[in-house]
């Protein structure tokens, strides 16, 4: 069967790619793993059967708990023509989710691939590994070029990660542990499908080891668009316009998450490392720790948001859940990880009072996400229109002579910070009047050139 052959070939290639890039992380290929499982089974002594059965039962319980987390995410809203059949939905609601293995197999074996994404195992044939982008407790992220040259990012189980090691220590079952650890990738596949947004990384496809009836079960690979890891140190040295863009993208994402198809979604592991940039646009790339669960409460004291230096108490609603807790958690994390470092420094003078308002309202959780997004969009409007420059005197350019078609003269080593170029002082401006104002404020500047190059705002 051609489909089965391609799936097996792709699975083998995945193992080879990771082995060839980082031998210390992945030390077994598909064939070696199968041999290890066989050896493990044959080495079992009769006296150990009861202990192994107990361990296996505990592992199955953990697998079922992970399935119970994912199955509600698989159920589409009414009217979703691309979702599960009505018969499957009725079946999943009528049965205990623990026993609903048919529904589980739809994601683990890839029968929903046509609905979820475009690429499958066949797309990974003849790919070329480029570099390791990152590794963590659970996952390994590898940059590869597909056969046609298209770069993508692959997420795989980190064979030598802490999660895999702890599972093997606890349960002594390599394949079962791979399935358990892979559940985070499976959850992420579903979340990426349900939470489509310009500021969420695009799911291009996935490859499950058991697709087509062949391959090794438990092996899951997520295929994503290629992004660049967010470098905060580099971003801190970027012009204010670029730093503002990152914060604006983040607020737009949090606004979407507050009213997503799954309800209000909290990012429980909210760190800059969970984001990448694609052509300058911020995108969330790690969703396995996203949660749409609402916190139950009996009084306001049950609704406390605790951070290292601040605590906030939110109201307990009449429904018995903490009102707006997920949204507020996201806002404050955006404030402490992004806004604090990126927004205030070198903001245009005409916008500093608006930036200060955002810092105060988010730092004290006085504004909801709708108000926060409105404040950001207002700043963007003023910045793009140049209205924030109205107070600059027209006479600021009177000491300059226009020389069309000519570049700047003088000391070419003159640099400023932040700048779009390390070889000179390259800034974005709305007009010649703003450029003259900036040049007047720099003692080394005696001329400037306006180019046709545009930034993302049109400056």
Residue-wise pLDDT for 345-387, tens only, equals 999 989 999 999 999 999 999 999 999 999 999 999 999 988 8
pLDDT value of residue 31: 33
Ranges of CATH 3.30.200.20 domains, the chain: 99-226
Tell me which residues are annotated as active site: 269
pLDDT value of residue 143: 94
Average pLDDT on 305-309 reads: 92
1-10, 151-160, 315-324: which has the minimum mean pLDDT?
Answer: 1-10
Contact 300, 315 (CB under 8 A): yes
Q: Which range is most confident: 33-37, 257-261, 401-405? A: 257-261
pLDDT value of residue 383: 92
In this prediction, residue 259 has a pLDDT band, given cuts at 50, 70 and 90, of very high
Dig out the tokens for 125 from the structure.
């044939």
Domain covering 99-226 in this structure, CATH number? 3.30.200.20
Average pLDDT on 153-174 reads: 89
Q: What percent of the chain has pLDDT over 70?
A: 76
pLDDT value of residue 176: 87
10: pLDDT strictly greater than 90: no
Residue-averaged pLDDT of the chain: 80
**Helix 162-171 with 174-194: angle, nearest 10 deg:** 140
In this prediction, residue 134 has a pLDDT band, given cuts at 50, 70 and 90, of confident
pLDDT value of residue 409: 54
HSE at residue 406, side-chain half, CA atoms within 13 A, is: 8
Q: Which residue has the higher pLDDT, 84 or 173?
A: 173
Q: Which range is most confident: 15-19, 51-55, 123-127, 210-214? A: 123-127
Q: Which residue has the higher pLDDT, 343 or 33?
A: 343
As a whole number of angstroms, the distance between CA 8 and CA 10 comes to 5
Q: Which residue has the higher pLDDT, 27 or 119?
A: 119
Residue-wise pLDDT for 222-238, tens only, equals 999 999 999 999 999 99
pLDDT value of residue 34: 35
pTM of the model: 0.81
103: pLDDT strictly greater than 90: no
19: pLDDT strictly greater than 50: no
State residue 288 phi and psi, 5-degree precision. Answer: -65, -20
pLDDT value of residue 41: 44
- DSSP 8-state secondary structure symbol assigned to residue 156: E
Grouping H, G, I as helix, E, B as strand and the rest as coil, residue 424 is: coil
- DSSP 8-state secondary structure symbol assigned to residue 135: E
As a whole number of angstroms, the distance between CA 341 and CA 237 comes to 11
Q: Which residues contact 152 (CB under 8 A, 6 or more apart)?
A: 119, 143, 144, 145, 146, 204, 223, 224, 225, 226
Q: Which range is most confident: 22-36, 40-54, 262-276? A: 262-276
Q: What percent of the chain has pLDDT over 90?
A: 42
Residue-wise pLDDT for 187-206, tens only, equals 998 899 889 999 999 999 88
Contact 25, 158 (CB under 8 A): yes
Q: Which residue has the higher pLDDT, 18 or 49?
A: 49
């Amino acid at each position: 069967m051609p489909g089965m052959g391609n799936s097996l070939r792709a699975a083998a290639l995945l193992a080879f790619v990771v082995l060839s890039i980082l031998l210390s992380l992945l030390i077994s290929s598909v064939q070696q793993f199968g041999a290890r499982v066989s050896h493990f089974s044959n080495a079992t002594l009769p006296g150990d059967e009861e202990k192994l059965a107990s361990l296996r039962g505990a592992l199955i319980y953990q697998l079922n708990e992970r399935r119970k987390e994912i199955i509600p995410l698989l159920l589409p809203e009414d009217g979703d023509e691309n979702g599960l059949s009505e018969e499957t939905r009725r079946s999943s609601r009528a049965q205990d989710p623990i026993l609903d293995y048919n529904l589980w197999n739809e994601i683990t074996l890839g029968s929903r691939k046509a609905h979820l994404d475009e690429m499958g195992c066949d797309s990974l044939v003849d790919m070329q590994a480029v570099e390791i982008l990152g590794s963590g407790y659970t996952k390994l992220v590898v940059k590869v070029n597909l056969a046609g040259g298209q770069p993508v990012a692959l997420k795989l189980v980190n064979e030598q990660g802490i999660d895999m090691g702890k599972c093997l220590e606890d349960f002594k079952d390599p394949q079962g542990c791979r399935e358990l650890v892979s559940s985070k990738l499976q959850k992420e596949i579903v979340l990426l499908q349900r939470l489509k947004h310009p500021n969420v990384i695009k799911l291009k496809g996935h490859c499950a080891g058991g697709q087509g009836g062949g391959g090794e079960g438990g092996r899951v690979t997520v295929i994503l668009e290629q992004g660049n890891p967010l470098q905060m140190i580099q971003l801190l040295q970027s012009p204010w316009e670029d730093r503002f863009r990152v914060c604006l993208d983040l607020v737009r994402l949090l606004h979407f998450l507050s009213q997503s198809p799954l309800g209000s979604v909290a990012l429980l592991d909210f760190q800059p490392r969970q984001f990448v940039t694609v052509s300058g646009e911020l995108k969330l790339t790690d969703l396995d720790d996203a949660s749409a669960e609402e916190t139950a409460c009996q009084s306001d004291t049950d609704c406390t948001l605790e951070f290292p230096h601040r605590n906030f108490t939110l109201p307990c609603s009449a429904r018995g859940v903490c009102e707006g807790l997920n949204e507020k958690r996201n806002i404050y994390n955006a404030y402490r990880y992004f806004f604090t470092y990126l927004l205030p420094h070198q903001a245009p003078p005409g916008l500093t009072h608006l930036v200060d308002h955002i810092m105060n309202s988010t730092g004290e959780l006085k504004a909801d996400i709708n108000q926060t997004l409105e404040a950001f969009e207002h700043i963007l409007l003023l910045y793009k229109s140049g209205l924030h420059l109205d107070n600059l005197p027209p006479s600021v350019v009177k000491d300059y002579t226009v020389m069309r078609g000519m570049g700047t003269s003088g000391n070419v080593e003159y640099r400023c910070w932040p700048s779009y170029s390390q070889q000179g002082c390259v800034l974005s401006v709305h007009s010649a009047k703003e450029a003259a104002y900036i040049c007047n404020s720099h003692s080394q500047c005696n001329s400037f050139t306006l180019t046709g190059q545009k930034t993302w705002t049109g400056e």
